[in-house]
Structures are given as C-alpha cells and as structure tokens.
Structure 1
Amino acid sequence: MAAGTVGVGIIGAGNISDQYLTHLTKFPDVRLLAIGDLFEDRAQAQADAYGVPTGGGIPSVLEHPDIEIVVNLTIPAAHVEVSEAIIAAGKHVWSEKPIGVDRESSLGLLEKADAAGLRVGIAPDTVLGPGVQTAKRAIARGDIGRPLFAHTSFQWQGPELFHPSPAFLYARGGGPLLDMGPYYVSALIHFFGPVAAVAALGLKASESRLVQAGPQTGDDFPVEVPSTVSVLMEFEEGGQAQSLYSFDSPLFRHGVVEITGTEGTMVIPDPNTFGGAIRITRPLAEVFVPPAPVIQQVDDVPQEGVLVGRGLGVLDMARSIRENRPHVATGRFGYHVLDTLLSIEESAEARQFVRVASTVDEVGSLPADFDPFAATL
C-alpha cells in the first residue's frame, strides 16, 4: 500500500468547485494536483486561482499518475458517466450528490467499483461536520431519550435568483427534492438509520421559470420535476419524519431540523452547513395553567470538532485509504439516499406509500478529535 499524502484531482470547474478548492488546498494529508473540465480555460483559471499545478481537459486528471482520488463535480445527469470513467482510470471517486439520477446505472457504478477494488464516496459531507456529528453523538448517548420523530423544512423562491445557469436544478435529477433533499435525508439517516417507507405529494407552481442572474437573465427554461414536495418517512428502526422541500415559497426558511425524543427536542444546525448551535428543549417541569407563560428548560450542547467545509469527506476517504478502514460517506450510503429520494418521487406521482427497497449498514461517524489540518499520513 502506498504511503504519504494522497493525490487528488477534480473534474468540473463550475460554481461549487470554489468551495472544494478552498479547503482541499489547505488539508496537509491531500495534494490537489489537477483540475479538468470540458471547458479547459475554465479549469486553467481555477488552477491558477488556487495554485493547483495542472488545469486543462478531463484527460489531464484521469491520466495523471499521482492522482488516487478524483472529485466529480459535474451536473447530476453526468455523475454516473464521469464516475465510471474515473473507475476505469483506476482511481477512487468522490462524487457530488446525488450518486446518479436512476437506480440501475448507480448500482452499476458501485458494482464496477467493487470489481476494481476501488472506493466510491458520495456527498454531502456537510453531515460529517461538527454540527451533525456532535448531535449524533448526543442522541446516541441518550441526551433526548429514545428518538421518536423529526421535522425538517427547506423553502424559498428558487435558485434562479442567484444561479447563472439554473435549468439543471429543475431538470430530472434536480428540483428541491434531489438538490436539497440529500442534505436532510442524509442527516436523518445518520440519526435514525435506514429508511423503510415514504409517502409524498408534489406540485409545480409553473411549467417554466426565468433566469434572474447572469448573462442569461430573462431566458426561460422548463420545470421538469415538482418544485414543492411534502414528505412522510418511516425508518426501519421505528422513527418517523416529516419534511418540506420547496422552490415556490416567498418565505425563506431553511436548515430546520428538529429531532424529538422521549426526553427532549433537539434543534440541530442546517445540514447544508458544517456546524452551528445545538439546543435541547426539555419537557415542562410542572403543570401549565393558561394564561401563564410557558417556561421550559433549554440546554446548549457544546459543538465538538474542527469547523471546515466541503472536502471533508474527501479527506476522510484519503485517510481511510491509507489506514485501511471504511470511510463514512460510502457509495452504498449515497445509493440508499438516492433510492429514498426516487421512492419519494414515485410516491408523489402514485399518491401512495412506497417501500424503499435498499438499506444500508450501520452508518459510521467521525471521531470528535478528527482534525482536518493535522498532518497524519
């Protein structure tokens, strides 16, 4: 087995690449060696901006002899195709969410990786941050008793308000469910375990939208998937959750995740971020007699760990390769998230409960002392 730092490359130099580049260039255990894109000048510009040695076409990443992990930052519809090319080049894959847009090709990717002895990791890695991981440890040690149910919400007017090319976010593999759902569903699986069944309703506020930022401002594009989805989820271990995902709401409300147990309700940070405040509201200590004010005990849970950003999952994969241990955000986990989201889509279309066919083994965690800025390899 190789020793020392792990070489990393990136395919896809679009908007989200800045977030990965900002952090991967600062972690001592990885070396960012190349950025590739269909638009080679864009890849070169990002390489120049972040001090990456090579920027160019996709072959500059796939054929680089010192790259072991390739980060796939392409659009959802291209995730499987690009990830398969990475596997064929003999390299491990870290892919932005979702793993793919259909079950068959996504499972095929995992089978090809297994046959090649290579790893697949799937975003989001926000759930590996101190926010969700601290909350997960608190729930595991019984801070809110036995977890019963969850409530989550993400709602606003839609990404066309800021994104210069938002059409793919309303295409197959997008919408608020496939775009934002992975953050919330991933967090819920960390807390409650695998999903057993779902029920959902979906709607579209309109059949087309207008770009509102950048050079394409005023152009219209089709809405191919529901722009609002209401969801009920049942977990294999018995918990339940209700969730709202919407690109149709003038009210901007996001990052709502509340986990209620037999001994308290925990409010956790936005799962699209890596950290934040964690608070537990306790049951009333005495009989409440209206109109007296409701006074409840609220406990703060100290956040444990180093706060960083995107690239944390890549780093965990890199260290796990050297240490010969499983990484946390596995391809199988990512597939179960996708299977759950597609089951939600199918439930909304059929207007009936849908069983989630896949499952996932016990989901791992990062230790509280995981330090991204330590040189460990």
Structure 2
Amino acid sequence: MEKVGIGIIGCGNISGAYLKAMTTDFPILDIRGLADLNGELAQSRASEFGLQARSIEELLGDPDIQIIVNLTVPKAHVAVALQALDAGKHTYSEKPLGINFAEGKKLADAARAKNLRIGAAPDTFLGGGHQTARTLIDQGLIGLPVGGTATFMCPGHERWHPNPDFYYEVGGGPMLDMGPYYITDLVNLLGPVSQVAGFAITPRAERIITSEPRNGERIPVHVPTHVAGVMAFASGAVVQIGMSFDVAGHKHVPLEVYGTEGTLIVPDPNRFGGPVEYLKKGGQFEEQPLTSPYSDGNFRSIGVADMAYALRSNRPHRANGDLALHVLEVMEAFHTAAAEGRTIKITTTTERPAPLSVSLIDGRLAQ
C-alpha cells in the first residue's frame, strides 16, 4: 500500500516512543520531517532516528505530507492542529484533544468544514489486551455489563518528568492527563457516556520537583489533583472512577468491568498488552488467551498508522475526532460537576471504534 507522508510537530518527552514505533512497526508511515520551537531539540530527535529536522512552516507547506502528528504540550494542541487544517493536512494530536471542550469542538467543527480528518491519542485501546477484553464482552462472556471501576493514583509526575509544569496547568491534572486512557478504553468496551457526577480537590497549591535537572524547584498548581466520580453509560452501565496525583500508593487494579454473569479485569490502559482475567459467577479468576495483535510492545502511534491505512482504504479511522471530543467532554464534566454540585449530562456521543483483531499490516490474526 502506498505510504502516507507524516510531519511531526513537537519533539518533547513523548516523541521518542512515537518515533520508535513509527520507524519500526508501521511501514505505511513515511516520516518526512520533525519540527519544534526548540530547534536544537528537533535536531537531536532527528539525529537519534536518522530523520530530518525542519521548520514548522516547511512541514505545513510540504505537499508530500498528508498527516501532521501534533506532539506539543496540551495548551498548544488545538492551535497547532488548526494550523495543520489550514494547510490542508489531516492532523493527529497527543491527548487530550484540547484543554477544554469548547476549543476541542472548535477543532472538530473546523475539520468537518474542511473535509479533513482529525484524530487523537490515546491509541492504547487498540492494543491486544484491550481488544481481547472487547471481544470477550461482545461475546457476552460477562453477561449484561452493569458497572466497573477505573483507578489511576500516584504521588505526582514531578517525581520523574524533567519539565512537569504542564501537568499542573489548565489542561493538565490527573483527569485530563491520565483520564483519556481510562475513559477511551471504557468507551471502547461499553460505548458512550451519558451522564457524569464527581468531586475534585486540590490539596496542595504548589509542588516540589524531585526529578533532574530541576530538583527542588517549586511549581504552582492550577487544577484539581484528586478527582473522584461516576460515569453513567448510555448502555446502562455505571462506572466509578478515581484519578489522583496525591496518593502514595494503592491496591486497586486499573480497570474492572462487572456483568451479570462475571467480572473482567482489563490491563492497564496506559499499556497495549497485559493479562486479561475473567471470573465466571461462582468461580475464580482465570487468565484469558489474547486474541488480538499489538500486545507485546509499545505501539504508541498505532492510531496514526490506522489513520494512514484508513485514508488509503477510504474507511473510518479508530482513534478519531468524535471519540476524542466525547472523552474530552466527559473529563471536563467531572470538574464542572464538582464545581457546581450537580450531575452533568453529556451532549456528544460517539460510535464504538471498530474492533481490531488482525494486524494492520498483513491482516493476520495474533500469534
């Protein structure tokens, strides 16, 4: 299949994982240049992967680039994506789609008006562990889905990230940073969300960086860092969620889905693989064989590859704009529910992405 030209804007921490997968796992992607406002950073990444550092203007003006992959910080996601659309490019952004629903909708409306595609991370729900869980639910293994739990709790990203400021700015916090993995996977498993209720607190007004090279520096906190809530799905299932940068440790698994006939433990949605465990009513948890590919590595950028194949095949792509906008509205709704003390009805909906049970490259089943 003819390759699709890719331009990457943003060469920060996450770009290494994208580039590794792009250059080794998905031959349809033809990376035609990297750009960053920090030219030295772009050059360093380009040298690391044997690619070319270029200016943003050059990437946007290159007729051989069809998709701009936007790996900038959250507050720049929509501005950069709108630039790409104005240049006639499809665009795929790191999560979240935008720092609030209003600007995410602006992007979605612009893409629709220009008849261009947008997509966004996370794409981990396309991994073999999550697609296997999807298959088991679709086959009725747990019966009628009735509920679940989604849990991410840690002491904060200032422990390891070299420049963690944006995690505590508007557009950051545990819900908008980690929530996309969990909520996107739950939409993949259960369908769209209809209502949200929640509480949110900010225990500390500043954080102390303990990573290098800024160890000891204090940074302000502008967003809630501990969020607890409930999602009611259109299907009828009700799922509890907890996202925190204020918890020293816990024993909850990342995702559980409960049904009338059994319970499913789903792998960490920040990973592509991991064990899928099933408990039949009255029985014990047993690990299930994985029935889908992309479970044995870090395939970050599979959403871009799926978009590329979708362009060539004229089909919908899975990590699409409708899905990302719906997830963004759900995440923002937790903060609104907490601030206003009420349940929030979700105005958007989305189709469950098509399952991915075979390789994008050769259509083979998982080994």
TM-score (norm 1): 0.92
CA offset digits 1:148-200 (Å, max 9, x no partner): 10111111100000011111101111100100001111111111111111111
Shift of 1:253: 5.5
Partner of 2:348: 358
Partner of 1:291: none
Partner of 1:306: 294
CA offset digits 1:92-147 (Å, max 9, x no partner): 10101111112222112112111222100111000111111111111001111111
> Which amino acid in structure 1 is aligned with residue 195 of structure 2?
A
> Which amino acid in structure 2 is aligned with residue 45 of structure 1?
S
Q: Distance in 2 between matches of 1:149 and 1:6?
A: 40
Structure whose CA Rg is larger: 1
Cα pair 1:87 1:112 within 8 Å, conserved: yes
Cα pair 1:5 1:28 within 8 Å, conserved: yes
After superposition, the Cα gap between the structure-2 partners of 1:109 and 1:229, relative to the gap in structure 1 and judged at 3 Å, is same
Partner of 2:236: 238
**1:81-96 map, 5 Å:** 81-96=79-94
CA offset digits 1:60-113 (Å, max 9, x no partner): 321222111111001111110000001111111010111111222211211211
**1:182-261 map, 5 Å:** 182-251=180-249, 256-261=254-259
Cα pair 2:151 2:242 within 8 Å, conserved: yes
Q: Distance in 2 between matches of 1:312 and 1:255?
A: 25
What is the count of residue pairs matched by the alignment? 360
Q: Distance in 1 between matches of 2:244 and 2:158?
A: 13
Unaligned runs of 5+ residues in structure 1 are 285-295
Cα pair 1:267 1:278 within 8 Å, conserved: yes
Alignment pair present for 1:348 and 2:346: no
> Which amino acid in structure 1 is aligned with residue 358 of structure 2?
D
Q: Distance in 2 between matches of 1:321 and 1:124?
A: 19
Is the partner of 1:90 in helix, strand or coil? coil
CA offset digits 1:4-33 (Å, max 9, x no partner): 111111100000000100010121111111
Cα pair 2:93 2:119 within 8 Å, conserved: yes
**1:61-76 map, 5 Å:** 61-76=59-74
Aligned identity (percent) is 39
Is the partner of 1:230 in helix, strand or coil? strand
Task: State the superposition RMSD in angstroms.
Answer: 1.6
Partner of 1:35: 34
Alignment pair present for 1:44 and 2:43: yes
Aligned match of 2:104 in 103, 106, 121?
106
Q: Distance in 1 between matches of 2:252 and 2:157?
A: 13
After superposition, the Cα gap between the structure-2 partners of 1:89 and 1:69, relative to the gap in structure 1 and judged at 3 Å, is same
Partner of 2:153: 155
Q: Distance in 1 between matches of 2:288 and 2:340?
A: 41
TM-score (norm 2): 0.95
Unaligned runs of 5+ residues in structure 2 are none
Cα pair 2:197 2:342 within 8 Å, conserved: yes
Aligned match of 1:326 in 310, 316, 341?
316
Partner of 2:272: 274
Is the partner of 2:111 in helix, strand or coil? helix
